[in-house]
Amino acid sequence: MFNHHDLTRDACMLHGPLRRLGYDWWWHSLTARDAQTGEEKPFFFEFYVCNPALAEDIPVLGQLPENRTNGKKPSYLMVKAGCWGEGKCQLHRFFAWKDVQMHADAPYEITAADCHASETALSGSISISREEAQAHPEWMCDAGQLSWNLTIDKQIAFNVGYGASKPLRDAEAFAMYWHAEGMKSAYSGEIVFNGRTYVVTPETSYGYADKNWGRDFTSPWVWLSSNCLKSRLTGKVLSNSVFDIGGGRPKVYFVPLDRRLLGVFWYEGREFDFNFSKVHLHVKTTFSFDEAGDTVHWHVRQENTHAVMETEISCNKKDMLLINYEAPDGSKKHNRLWNGGNGWGTVRLYEKQGEETVLIDEIECTHVGCEYGEYC
């Protein structure tokens, strides 16, 4: 069962070696509506913590030239927030660890100034002028003003498994771990972006919440997820469904496993699991990404002993960000990490019946969270 909620996997995992060379982040993405026009707009919010054992009185930024020269690794809480589509932006606000209050055990909770994140609530603000953004390239962000006050109802989980519940023992096993406590989440509240108010309602938020942690990132880096789904066979809205795909090239004890993805589909209460770490499923995966022209495209085919899932997603480049992170060692490895929140496409779900493969449904997907990048 992958739809297994486990708040211990949402706790802060920066223990042991990861306190000096590790990151942990809690990601949230959702759709809001302009309070005046009703137009949809996708937003994201993230709390990213890095290298607490290396804390100083101010945030240590790995891209600051003097820190790069002196070999200083980053250490801070970074609150990341932004949006996709027209006026797209990513905003970063940094805090020194001394200014962060964290309940690291489950259920997790982080507070710094007016920024707060927990299992059920999310709030904060970021304001960066154009002059500040230009003067501080080490912030790796744009200019803008964004504030938010949201509640979260995490409804369906993707519990990846493979040792993530024992971070002390397995801290060096995988370079990057993943847990989606709320791969289908309902958000409510209000967002104010550059002076405009956006309303978030549970039924139309199409929300998502997950976390990643480890000592390094994966390359290639793949993520696709949506719970705004409609059957093309019946015309029915699939209100109890969500799919989630992630991974790329995981490393186990520093040994890369080439082109492996974790994928699941919760289809109206039925589980379809394409988790490569579950050996008994005999999962086979192929995937490709194309960024030619004005649109990027993903194609993923996953197969196990019981089923096949074929996923094709597209997103317009003009709506996407090249999202920025620095690794715990201070390097910025991903400089072309495409990130979007309004992708679209189809998922075809098949069931194996003896020698035949029978179509269960062809599903129309919108409001797709999507990501792809390779080191460059």
Residue 66's pLDDT is what?
96
User: What gap in Å lies between CA 367 and CA 207, rounded to an integer?
Assistant: 9
Residue 98 belongs to a domain = yes
Residue 57 lies in a domain: yes
- The answer, yes or no, to whether residue 170 has pLDDT greater than 60, is no
Number of Cβ atoms within 10 Å of the Cβ of 195: 6
Give yes or no for residue 101 having a pLDDT over 90.
Answer: yes
Q: Is residue 2 part of a domain?
A: no
**Residue 113 maps to a domain:** yes
Give the mean pLDDT of 27-56: 98
Q: What one-character-per-residue DSSP string does 245-313 give? A: EEEES-EETTEE-TTEEEEEEEETTEEEEEETT-GGG--EEEEEEE--TTEEEEEEEEE-SSEEEEEEE
Q: What is the mean pLDDT of residues 83-100?
A: 98
Distance of CA 301 to the CA centre of its chain: 21
> Residues 10, 11, 14, CA angle at the centre, nearest 5°?
120
Task: State residue 44's pLDDT score.
Answer: 98
Q: In Å, what is the CA distance from 40 to each residue of 86, 145, 228, 345? A: 11, 18, 13, 18
Mean pLDDT of 187-207: 98
Q: What is the pLDDT of residue 163?
A: 43
**Whole-number Å distance between alpha carbons of 36 and 38:** 6
Residue 168: band (very low, low, confident or very high) from pLDDT cuts 50, 70, 90: very low
Residue 180 CA to residue 351 CA, distance in Å, equals: 25
Average pLDDT in the 138-164 region? Answer: 91
The count of domains in the chain is: 1
Residue 357 lies in a domain: yes
- Name which of 55-64, 127-136, 152-161, 273-282 the model is least confident about: 273-282
Residues 6 or more apart whose Cβ sits within 8 Å of residue 70: none
For 276, the domain range is 7-373
- Average pLDDT of span 27-55: 98
Averaged pLDDT for residues 69-97: 97
Is pLDDT above 90 for 281? Answer: no
Confidence bin at 162 (pLDDT 50/70/90): low
Please, which pLDDT band fits residue 166 given cuts at 50, 70 and 90? Answer: very low
Q: State the DSSP code for 138.
A: G
Q: Is the pLDDT of residue 77 over 80?
A: yes
Provide mean pLDDT across the span 22-40. 98
Say which range, 65-69, 169-173, 187-191, 349-353, has the weakest mean pLDDT: 169-173
Q: What average pLDDT does this structure show over 182-197? A: 98
Angle at 204 between CA 26 and CA 33, to 5 degrees: 90
Least confident residue range of 141-145, 153-157, 279-283, 299-303: 279-283
Inter-CA distances, 198 with 215, 245, 282, 288, Å = 36, 28, 45, 35
Confidence of residue 167 (pLDDT cuts 50, 70, 90): very low
Residue found by looking up tokens 């209000």 in the block? 190
The answer for 135, left when phi > 0, alpha when psi is -120 to 50, beta otherwise, is alpha
Mean pLDDT of 331-359: 95
pLDDT tops 70 at residue 361: yes
Tell me if residue 116 falls in helix, strand or coil: strand
Which pLDDT does position 248 carry in this prediction? 62
pLDDT, tens only, 305-322: 999 999 999 999 999 999
Residue 102, in any domain of the structure = yes
Q: What's the rounded Cα separation, in Å, for the pair 190 and 353?
A: 48
Q: Given this model, what pLDDT does residue 257 score?
A: 52
Q: Whole-angstrom Cα distance, residue 273 to residue 139?
A: 39
| Whole-angstrom distance, CA of residue 330 vs CA of residue 62 | 5
The pLDDT, as a whole number, for residue 247 is 84
Average pLDDT over residues 35-55: 98
- Flag whether 103 is in a domain: yes
Indicate whether 62 belongs to any domain: yes
